[in-house]
Amino acid sequence: MDVSFRFMTLQDLDRIIEIEQLSFTLPWSRSSFYQELTNNPYARYIVLEYDRQVIGYCGMWLVMDEAHITNIAVLPQFRGKKLGEALMRQAMALAREEGAKTMTLEVRVSNVVAQSLYRKLGFLNGGIRKRYYSDNQEDALVMWVKL
């Protein structure tokens, strides 16, 4: 599959919101993404394109020498094709280029598919954030990797 990556722009927001709503029970709002792109100097957001269409995205905050993944999603019809892995690898490379030494993220304890991907990329369990997700009070597994 011939895909490409680039930085997210404000023109991508309609598509990003569509992907977000198809991917999460607690989707971010358009204004949240707008604020990230326009007012957060620590934020970096990349998109995954196939056939000139955005099919996924990944966001992170880069603070000092640490990268924190804020969100990652791929359209449902493109899942299972290793595109999430490609997107994470791209985010990890960007974080390294910008001086990050470690990367962290939170993932639902029930999301074993995502956890498997993160472990494949070298992430290790770092702890549990109790009742992290407000929709159902599910715990989050905190994972870390050295870049």
Q: Which of 36, 45, 57, 106 is catalytic?
A: 106
* Confidence grade of residue 72 (pLDDT, cut at 50, 70, 90): very high
Query: What CATH class has 3-146?
Result: alpha beta
Asked whether residue 1 carries a pLDDT value surpassing 80, the answer given is no
pLDDT, residue 133, reads 87
Catalytic site residue 45?
Answer: no
Asked whether residue 121 carries a pLDDT value surpassing 90, the answer given is yes
Would you say 91 and 46 are in contact if contact means Cβ atoms under 8 Å apart? yes
What SS3 class is residue 43?
A: strand
Q: Which of 42, 66, 118, 132 is catalytic?
A: 118
* Confidence grade of residue 70 (pLDDT, cut at 50, 70, 90): very high
Q: Where are the domains of the chain?
A: 3-146
Catalytic site residue 132?
Answer: no
- What is the mean pLDDT of the segment spanning 33-52? 97
What SS3 class is residue 128?
A: strand
* Residue (of 91, 84, 81) closest to 1 by Cα position: 81
Asked whether residue 78 carries a pLDDT value surpassing 80, the answer given is yes
* Confidence grade of residue 135 (pLDDT, cut at 50, 70, 90): confident
Asked whether residue 104 carries a pLDDT value surpassing 80, the answer given is yes
